[in-house]
Structure 1
Amino acid sequence: MPSGSRHISRVVWLSFLVLVGAGFLFCSRSRPAIRNVLLISIDTLRADHVGAYGFPRPTTPNIDAVAREGVLFKNVHTPVPMTLPAHVSMLTGTLPPTHGLRDNLANRLPDASLTLAEMLKPRGFTTGAIVSTFVLDRRFGTSQGFDTYDDRFQAVHKIGDLSERKGDETARHARDWLDEHKAQPFFLFVHFYDPHDPYEPPEPFASRWREHPYEGEIAFADHCVGQVMDKLRQLGLYENTLIVITGDHGEMLGEHGELNHGFFIYEGALRVPLVVRVPGAAAAARQVDAPVSLIDVAPTIVSLVGAPVPKEVQGVDLSPWIAGRGAGGGARPIYAETVTPTHYYGASSLLGVIVDGWKYIETTRPELYDLRSDPAEAVNLLAREPARADALGRTLVSILAAAGRAPGPAPESAALDEESRQRLAALGYLGRSGGVSSQVFDRSKEDAKDLIAFFRKDQRLNKLVEDKKYAEARALCEEMLQQRPGFADCHLQMSKIAASEGNLDAALTAARKAVAVGPKNERAHLQLAALLKERG
């Protein structure tokens, strides 16, 4: 649909909600009264590290307490293991191939898109958001529909950098926001970033979780969630607030060779928690096995407050399962993707679908797993089950075709300046060029499985340069260039090292090499231009 028509559709939808009025704000008589909505997203939170999901150590007592009073969805996947596109899917109810944001780096959500805040605001909700990473900065379009969008950090967590803030600051801002807006119905979105790498929990969590710092970060984030829950109770708002707690993606923790997330779409990176507490006894505590995607969050919240779900939304309304009336759903296909291998190295993207416990990953060497008997995805059953793989492949093609046909504006360039790119680099996002087509399977490119060791070296190189360990960085660059002589970013890093040491000639030589071997590498061109300007 053309952008102008999409804008008209959005205006008509919002006008319709206003005309319907706020009568549904307290829901129908068959549902508990909902005055407020609180959506909490905890970045990089694996479902299997949450106590309510069976984790043996006490990482999440506060989330567990909410789960005991609500509905826990046991089988939830993110459509993409990257912070920005995952949150855009969460807040729009659409898949990455539809909304167009495939990673954290290049694009922003167009203003013509329809977000959860925009769906709720016309129904009388005051809307606010408090985010904890630069990746969700308003320049990426995530502030649409929010009356207040708190993305300005006060405390410096990383030396000289304001790319993220710790959960105690986020929780303090959330409590202050609740104090200020307690008199009116509200929708508040709170994002905690702490479990994201590097794992550096504050005391006393650092000491308590010395052997398991990732778990310490989760425990700290959970503590901060508890502070927000306590504020709701203090203000007398807990019993009439719809509470939704989830995560944007997980963390691989070394599984399949990946330390963090974003490169693969195995379960460690895709499985996230989802806990929904609806006010009142009608929503008795229960656990639900049905397959769920993060794109279901928006339509579920909209439905629970009594509003119709916009036709643009691709997610499923989970309110029947919350009310205990849902059944089946096992054959629903769940989509997941990562384009990181393409953007970084020109390799095949990973496009996946999960149906009834079977998971198919389309790539150069496709993969098929029976998640019920092999949750670790250790045995590729493609050769044994070719017919099943073909059927799932056709399902994947259908999902991508439907996503491509879905109405919506094209993604817009985020137009990042060099400082913004450096802030993303400080968070571990390496920013490369390289296109991806989600509609065509190209098995002629390198397989991401063959590049994970190189990817880890790439991550280590970025950290060495950030820490100014230049001798080690040079040695690693030379080693990496022996493996991939055309890897422009090694030359780019060598240029940055030389420039930092005041060797302008060497910096220019390396920058020219980076441009020569990577003519589409925007960062290499920017580096060369900056150096030429400095030389005069």
Structure 2
Amino acid sequence: MPKNIIFIMTDQQRADSLGCTGNPVCKTPNIDALAGRGAVFRQHFTPHQICSPSRSTLFSGLYARNHGLTRNGVALPEELPLITHDLKAANYRTHGVGKFHFQPILAGAEHAMPDSNAFWTLPESEDWTGPFYGFDSVDILIGESVSATEGGHYARWLEAKAPEAAALYLPENALEPPAGDMDEVWKAAIPFELHYNSWITDRACDFLQSQKDDTPFFLFLSYPDPHHPFSPPAPWCHMYDPQDMPAPASAPDELSKMPSYLLDSDREDQAGKSYVDFLRNPGPPREQGFLQTTRRFSDASLRQAIAHTYGMVSMIDDCIGRLMAQLGSLGLTEDTLIIFTSDHGELLGDHGLIRKGPSPYRSLLHVPLIIAGPGITPGDRDGITSHLDLRATLQDYLELPRAETDGVSFAHLLSAPEMAGRDHLFAEYHPRTRKETYNQTLLTNDWRITVYPERPDWGELFNLTEDPGEHVNLFFDQDHSAPRKTLLERLQREFPPAADAGGVSLATY
């Protein structure tokens, strides 16, 4: 059994963005090395494609309808038991660094929530380092890109270290003029040594260096990238030639058979602020994910966004290499379980769409999962697994008391790659502004069905055996009425609608 655990999470990273998961372009030697000595889960999914619900599900082992954080802007109940509490009860020292997203970023100061910018204007924020959701101590970063310098420990560190540096994140100070038709693609002028990914890695290495006794530890690192805006610093913004980027996966006119909100998604973007402007001055709430078609973007701009995404992934990989080197120099590698994953994916041009939104495409639900360490047999795992299952899995693997969760343990897969995973999983999307986009999903090895209880004229059905990329919607195809009926009955029976579930929205996000 391992003595220590390091849990690394990225934000909005697709499962296919790593060398070890088959990406032919993106260079990730350090994550690939981790995969080479660990288990690579080829069919790992999140049941919620939005940041806060997914993260809360991973830590609690509960669907969002049961832990309460159903949409960004809601706070995770502080009394809810999480994997961090399980570990504290087993005498682990728990420390977290980076982006947590358990509370609304824009929650008012009256809520005194450390995951909100307003908390850092309060006297009680002075010298505050926790406790926080089962973490003994934390180094908090709030947001990403241009919004990461407003609150949290990183913002304070940057202000003290280099008071003028925050402005170097902004597109108007970019190393090169941004693309005219895609305002969230630019080369950030912030030096890499001042960038939040470097800061997260430095703080994590400091924590490792500070461990002076034999107390086991749980270290959580949460990198805000490769979440959009697509704005890495040098040298990572120059690492990939846009012309070498693979074209997104799409089929002609495929969205015409999908729910109409997908093609209508540009109207909100055209009528309101761009995503970057929204980050800097939010204004009225908008639907989560900032889903948009790619119709108004040039091929060159879209390829630049992909190149910058890969640059951010490689930047994080470099940080992980530094962390692993520190772990090795302290003689802790053999005693440490390493987990690498992401909260959800990114469309990145697939289906003619970008960012994320209500429709649970594989690009959004399918995320990387690599687990390496004592007792882990190296190799691929082909069975379905879920973020919902990670808490139960760690409880079994570490021989901790089992708490009641919605997940099922896949601890048996850690040492026995040939064993089976899940045969299905459920997913759910709770909207912020468009009630009609509430949806439920049943995913099996062969099918994905999605229904919209408020809109019976919307639905999605994909034969994953014949159409793994989900380009041909068969929901209203009479030739597929039999599998549709079977799947719908199972979804209704085992995962009935819960559109009104969740806590009170405290802020836009």
TM-score, reference length from structure 1: 0.65
The 1:298/1:165 distance shift into structure 2, 3 A limit, reads farther
2:430 counterpart residue number:
339
2:466 counterpart residue number:
373
Paired with 2:492 and 2:212, the residues of 1 have a C-alpha distance of: 47
The 5 Å alignment of 1:177-216 reads: 177-181=207-211, 183=213, 184-211=215-242, 212-216=307-311
1:321 counterpart residue number:
413
Q: Check whether the contact 2:410–2:421 (CA below 8 A) recurs between aligned residues.
A: no
Q: Check whether the contact 1:82–1:104 (CA below 8 A) recurs between aligned residues.
A: yes
| Selected match of 2:492 from 387, 391, 397 | 397
2:387 counterpart residue number:
294
Paired with 2:496 and 2:95, the residues of 1 have a C-alpha distance of: 35
2:135 counterpart residue number:
146
Answering whether residue 52 of structure 2 is matched by residue 84 of structure 1, we say yes
Paired with 1:379 and 1:146, the residues of 2 have a C-alpha distance of: 45
* Counterpart residue identity of residue 394, structure 1: E
The 1:415/1:346 distance shift into structure 2, 3 A limit, reads closer
* Counterpart residue identity of residue 208, structure 2: L
1:62 counterpart residue number:
30
Answering whether residue 348 of structure 2 is matched by residue 348 of structure 1, we say no
Using the aligned pairs only, state the percent identity. Answer: 28
The 5 Å alignment of 1:170-181 reads: 170-181=200-211
The 1:248/1:217 distance shift into structure 2, 3 A limit, reads same
Answering whether residue 347 of structure 2 is matched by residue 252 of structure 1, we say yes
Q: Check whether the contact 1:42–1:246 (CA below 8 A) recurs between aligned residues.
A: yes
**The residue matched to 2:338 in structure 1 has which SS?**
strand
1:225 counterpart residue number:
320
The 5 Å alignment of 1:436-451 reads: none
Deviation (angstroms), 1:202: 1.6
Q: Check whether the contact 1:166–1:194 (CA below 8 A) recurs between aligned residues.
A: no
Q: Check whether the contact 2:12–2:227 (CA below 8 A) recurs between aligned residues.
A: yes
* Counterpart residue identity of residue 207, structure 1: H
Q: Check whether the contact 1:115–1:144 (CA below 8 A) recurs between aligned residues.
A: yes
| Selected match of 1:167 from 185, 191, 197 | 197
Q: Check whether the contact 1:109–1:140 (CA below 8 A) recurs between aligned residues.
A: no
Paired with 1:290 and 1:134, the residues of 2 have a C-alpha distance of: 29
The 1:115/1:134 distance shift into structure 2, 3 A limit, reads closer
**1:63-120 CA distance string (max 9 Å, x none):** 1111110111100111111111111011111111211212211x11112211010011
Deviation (angstroms), 1:258: 2.5
Larger displacement relative to structure 2 (282-291 or 186-195)? 282-291
Displaced runs of 4+ in structure 1, greater than 4 A?
133-142, 157-160, 401-404
The 1:87/1:165 distance shift into structure 2, 3 A limit, reads farther
Answering whether residue 97 of structure 2 is matched by residue 130 of structure 1, we say yes
Paired with 2:414 and 2:359, the residues of 1 have a C-alpha distance of: 31
* Counterpart residue identity of residue 207, structure 2: W
Deviation (angstroms), 1:388: 1.2
TM-score, reference length from structure 2: 0.68
The 1:134/1:380 distance shift into structure 2, 3 A limit, reads closer
Answering whether residue 448 of structure 2 is matched by residue 359 of structure 1, we say yes
* Counterpart residue identity of residue 365, structure 2: L
* Larger Rg belongs to: 1
What value does the CA root-mean-square deviation take over the aligned residues? 2.5
Q: Check whether the contact 1:49–1:59 (CA below 8 A) recurs between aligned residues.
A: no
Paired with 1:370 and 1:412, the residues of 2 have a C-alpha distance of: 35
**1:219-277 CA distance string (max 9 Å, x none):** 11111111111111111111100111011101001223321013321011111010011
Q: Check whether the contact 2:381–2:417 (CA below 8 A) recurs between aligned residues.
A: no
Number of residues paired by the alignment?
Answer: 371
Higher helix share: 1
Paired with 2:496 and 2:114, the residues of 1 have a C-alpha distance of: 29
The 1:246/1:349 distance shift into structure 2, 3 A limit, reads same
Deviation (angstroms), 1:134: 5.8
| Selected match of 2:19 from 48, 51, 55 | 51
Deviation (angstroms), 1:182: 5.1
> Greater RCO between the two (CA within 8 Å, min separation 6)?
2
**1:145-186 CA distance string (max 9 Å, x none):** 1101221223337459xxx96211111111111112353210
The 5 Å alignment of 1:491-510 reads: none
| Selected match of 2:87 from 104, 120, 126 | 120
Deviation (angstroms), 1:291: 0.5
**1:281-312 CA distance string (max 9 Å, x none):** x432111111011111211122211113201x
Deviation (angstroms), 1:143: 3.0
Query: Structure 2, unaligned stretches of length 5 or more?
Result: 106-112, 117-130, 141-151, 159-165, 172-193, 243-306
Paired with 1:376 and 1:296, the residues of 2 have a C-alpha distance of: 25
2:143 counterpart residue number:
none
1:5 counterpart residue number:
none
